[in-house]
């Protein structure tokens, strides 16, 4: 059966590259206009909470439980929220903890995404070898198509 509705996952981290990827994801969803609306899932993956050491009496609260979280969330999701709202595209925002590539791939598999849109940081060869590339890992291991947006 032909599925005209698309499920589009976009990686969000507040960087200019992820903002550009967010705009592209909304454009993809908006471009498949019919009475079947495509949906954009904007996912931000935060690092795992730091483990406490013997010098810590009270471990730090996760960023999502701090007073600054609402303002931080608004700034990071601003572009995708604005673009989706202007184009009347359904949007779901997700915050996960862990390794970004792993979480994006797990979510795409579990929710049967049609495409993942991700920004490329444009790191050089040495940085990519030392730190790895999230976009490369996602493109290699994703269960669906991956659209890499160059910044």
Give residue-wise pLDDT tens across range 125-149.
Answer: 555 554 468 888 999 999 999 999 9
Average pLDDT, the chain: 83
pLDDT score, position 68: 80
| Residue range 6-33: mean pLDDT, rounded | 90
Q: Which of 4-8, 13-17, 135-139 has the lowest mean pLDDT?
A: 4-8
The closest alpha carbon to 89, from 146, 148, 44, 23, belongs to 23
The closest alpha carbon to 76, from 47, 42, 105, 101, belongs to 42
- CB-count burial class (<10 Å; 0-12, 13-18, 19+) for 42: buried
CA distance 9 to 93: 10
Model confidence, pTM: 0.81
Which CATH architecture is the domain 7-49+61-150 placed in? Answer: 3-Layer(aba) Sandwich (3.40)
Strands annotated E in 60-120: 91-97, 115-120
């Amino acid at each position: 059966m032909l599925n005209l509705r698309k499920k589009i996952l976009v990686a969000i981290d507040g960087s200019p590259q992820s903002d550009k990827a967010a705009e592209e994801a909304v454009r993809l969803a908006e471009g498949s206009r019919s009475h079947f609306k495509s949906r954009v899932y904007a996912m931000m993956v935060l690092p795992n909470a730091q483990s406490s050491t013997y010098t810590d009496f009270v471990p730090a609260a996760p960023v999502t439980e701090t007073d600054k979280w609402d303002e931080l969330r608004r700034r990071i999701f601003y572009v995708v929220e604005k673009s989706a709202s202007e184009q009347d595209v359904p949007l779901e925002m997700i915050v996960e903890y862990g390794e970004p590539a792993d979480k994006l791939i797990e979510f795409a598999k579990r929710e049967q995404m049609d495409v993942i849109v991700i920004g490329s940081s444009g790191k050089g060869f040495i940085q990519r070898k030392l730190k790895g590339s999230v976009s490369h890992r996602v493109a290699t291991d994703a269960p669906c198509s991956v659209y890499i947006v160059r910044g």
